[in-house]
A and B are shown apart, each in its own frame.
Chain A
Amino acid sequence: MIGLELAVHAAIASVDDPEYPGVSIVDLGLLERLDVTDAGDVRVGLIPTFSGCPALAMIRDDVLEAVDAVDGVGEVEVEWLRSPVWTVDRIGPETRALIGREFTVAVRIGTGAPECPRCGAPTTEESMFGPSRCRSVNRCTACAETVEVMRS
């Protein structure tokens, strides 16, 4: 069954975040649990970045579709879990670098000032509120770039 589980995992990893094309939901740390039974039934447990995230239904549909397409898969169930709570620590260093490079979005880790994805200088917060609940709007103190910062 290891083969099937790997195939299902790869299928889930092929689903991108609807607001970051090219960035996998697995790399953003949304996949919490994956159970594949001997009969090929699959249960996927996802956690949202924010509980009111409007993309939840869409991500769930995308995961269902991707997993359903895997050969040998039986019943598929995808659910949004209430715990654990998602934090930015679940985003790995490579993914942080990717969204910095591709989307000029920084990730707030720890208490220090988030770094500008363009030049690496510290940024200061311009507004607590950006286009999404999981992001604030900052400005780079060196190159003046307008930067969005993902936070938890």
Chain B
Amino acid sequence: MTRTWADMAAFESFLDDGGIVEVDDHMPDEYRQAVFAFIEMHANSELMGGLTERDWIPRTPGLRHKMSVLAKTQDEIGHGHLLYMVAADMQIKTREEMLEDLFAGKSRFHNVFHYQAVTWGDQVAIAFLVDAAALASQQAVFKNCSYGPYRRILKRIISEEGFHMRLGEDRMMRIAQGTDTQKEIFQGALDRWFWPALQLFGPDSKPDDVLLRWHIKSERNEVLRDKWVQKFVPMLQSYGFTVPAPDLSYDEEAGKWDVGPIDWEPLKRTLAQGGPDSARRINEAKDNWERTRWVRDAMDRAATVPA
């Protein structure tokens, strides 16, 4: 059943009443564009994240971690697959166009995938800090998301990201209880990943943020970021690591940690594909897509041959 709304005010009041928009509804163009851009960035991030994870399949310390890296890779690529389907259904860009734009550096993916993971310690920091930040953001979208197809996919993605969090905690516990060298490796990774993970939430939400107004997101960026800080700063310290924030302070009265001023320049650079590892990663993803074309062709041909 296709629904239509007289004007934006009627549509917004439908959303404010908790209305859920479905793919064949006549939604306002601005809404369609905003939801599409959001899902496209999520899809791109799953694909880029999956490729990062994949890089570590041959290099994990031990079989236990190899299984978790394999599983995470399949999860992320699978999530990307589902999200590209949902995004393409919005009929703004086809999946091919989205991928072309990604490989041409014309569309965005999360800041954390513009950096290089140098050691296994980086993978632990990513699984522990970045996955937690991504999960918190996704949960805040899922809680109240007005676009039905995305909300239903998010429910499954969040369950699986919750599983990744547990794998991240497992990796973290192992390295935190490890040798001095292992702890040094993790501290080095923490120094590299603390700020990018924190910046994943983005700068403070603007008062007129349409993502909030149209119930695509349900929490302000600064609220989510603060929750993350309050959880991870004491946790990292309890494991004996140093939080790389020179102006870190604790407000006794409020019972809260403050990381001090945040430099948003690195985030802006990554969004313009100017991060430390952006160019290599985008080229890698493009090459990978070309190299695996024959597999997709073979699958397509197999599907057209009668059994």
Contacts and interface: CB of A to CB of B under 8 A. Distances in A.
A137 B76 CA distance: 14
A146 B81 CA distance: 10
A105 interface: yes
Interface in A132-152: 132-133, 135, 137, 139, 144-146, 148
B74 A131 contact: yes
B82 A146 contact: yes
Given A132-B75, A145-B149, A146-B153, A54 B68 contact: yes
Interface stretch (A18-26, A36-44, A72-80, A84-92): A18-26
A132 B299 contact: no
A52 interface: yes
Interface in B81-104: 81-82, 85-86, 89
Contact of B163 (A55, A105, A128, A130): A55
B78 interface: yes
Given A54-B67, A54-B71, A19 B159 contact: yes
A103 B155 contact: yes
A21 B159 contact: yes
A104 B163 contact: no
A136 to B, nearest CB: 10
A105 B156 contact: yes
B152 A145 contact: yes
Contacts of A129: 74, 78, 81
Interface in B141-178: 149, 152-153, 155-157, 159-160, 162-163, 166-167, 170
A139 B153 CA distance: 13
Interface residues of A, number: 29
Interface string B50-90: 00000000000000100110110011111101100110010
Contact of A144 (B76, B89, B166, B170): B89
Contact of A137 (B68, B74, B82): B82
B245 interface: no
B64 A131 contact: no
A145 B157 CA distance: 16
B271 interface: no
A128 B299 CA distance: 9
A57 interface: yes
Given A52-B70, A103-B156, A132-B78, A146 B64 contact: no
28 contacts: A19-B160, A53-B71, A54-B68, A57-B64, A58-B163, A58-B166, A58-B167, A58-B170, A103-B159, A104-B152, A105-B156, A127-B81, A128-B299, A129-B74, A129-B81, A130-B81, A130-B82, A131-B77, A131-B79, A131-B160, A132-B74, A137-B78, A137-B81, A137-B82, A139-B85, A145-B152, A146-B82, A146-B89
Given A53-B71, A104-B153, A144-B89, 19 more contacts: A19-B163, A21-B159, A55-B71, A55-B163, A58-B163, A102-B155, A103-B155, A103-B159, A104-B152, A130-B78, A131-B74, A131-B78, A131-B156, A131-B160, A132-B75, A137-B82, A144-B23, A146-B82, A146-B149
